[in-house]
Amino acid sequence: MTTLFDRYQLGRLTLPNRVVMAPMSRVRAAAGGLATSSMATYYAQRATAGLIVTEGVQPSVVGQSNPGTPGLHTDEQTASWRTVTDAVHINGGRIFAQIMHGGRVSHPDTTGHVPVGPSAVPAAGNVFTPSGPQPAPVPRALETAEVPEHAESYASAARRAVEAGFDGVELHGANGYLISQFLSSNANLRTDRYGGSVAGRIRFAVEAVTATVEAVGADRTGVRLSPGGGFWGVEETEVTEVYTALLTELARLGLAYVHLEATADEAVLSRLRHVWPGTLVMNPVLPMGPKQTGREDADRWLGLGADLISFGRGFIANPDLVERLRAGLPLAPVDEATYYQGGDAGYLTYPAYPYGA
């Protein structure tokens, strides 16, 4: 029987366990989207995870969603990440960069640019800006000829990620950001080849992933998806059909993994597991929902066919989460007020369990 602590071969990487640190925004980057020494310490503290996936990293200026997030589109940003990847590797870990284009979930006060999206339909709710939350603006609908350059931006960032020492990249295709917007039935009202039919709505995702595979290799490329998720006002019709078609196309590429969130019911997710022939990373509970992923959730999904299990909030307050799960030790509570406040408090200040004390 598969356990959470068995080894797993992920492409060229041998993972010592099946625990994945899920991507989580912590908005601790320096001015100019640079990674910092504190970020290096944060990820190195959690290097016992089988695999770390970083917070979302913008692939371009217009792709930035929130202030205080890091980038991978300048030489300075690329060089700054080397401290992070070196620290993780020295501590025995493996790390993928999550590449995240925010699309319409952005604001001119953050980037200096009007956000772009598949259609001129604003996200629901307020977005973060340097001066505080503001209503999401109406994005500029991308012209058909512009769409490929935004798909290519993921590949360009992936090249920089490998140059910076990352073991691979995960494209953020979930949670209402740009790829998710193209998959949507209410954010994507296009009538060209990137909209309308199921084949049209998945086209941008397939092109972005294909470009990344061509840039850095399939074994260095994963993608995160949230089937049926309603983040930032995104709605999706034909969820099973859309994601079955998407995974069928992606299966031809031989990706390192697909990372699914528990945003649809178990029957839909189980069907998608059967459609997807490769490695499946499963995030067993709704992101930012009332419950955190626990050992029972992990074991259940390993039994349902997942290969790796991602844990989000548990890793914030428990840098030694793998050992706590292995030993059945209590998990420290997280201080939600420090999620995005900046600084090292609530970032580097959570201790390991006092083993043997």
Query: Alpha-carbon distance 105 to 123, whole Å?
Result: 6
Query: Alpha-carbon distance 121 to 118, whole Å?
Result: 8
Residue of 154, 177, 194, 257 marked catalytic: 177
Secondary structure (3-state) at 25: coil
Mark out the alpha helices in 8-124 (DSSP H runs).
37-45, 75-90, 108-111
Annotation says 177 is catalytic: yes
Nearest to 58 by CA among 219, 169, 195: 169
Q: In sequence order, what DSSP letters do the residues of 59-71 get, joined into one string? A: SSSTT--STT--B
Start-to-end CA distance of the chain, whole Å, equals: 33
Query: Alpha-carbon distance 316 to 336, whole Å?
Result: 10
C-alpha dist (Å) from residue 328 to 48, 286, 318, 319, 321: 16, 23, 13, 15, 10
| Number of other residues whose CB lies within 10 A of the CB of residue 328 | 7
Query: For the chain, what percentages of helix, strand and coil (3-state, to nearest 5) are there?
Result: 35, 15, 50
Q: Dihedral sign, CA of 4, 293, 299, 306? A: negative
Secondary structure (3-state) at 133: coil
Catalytic amino acids? 177
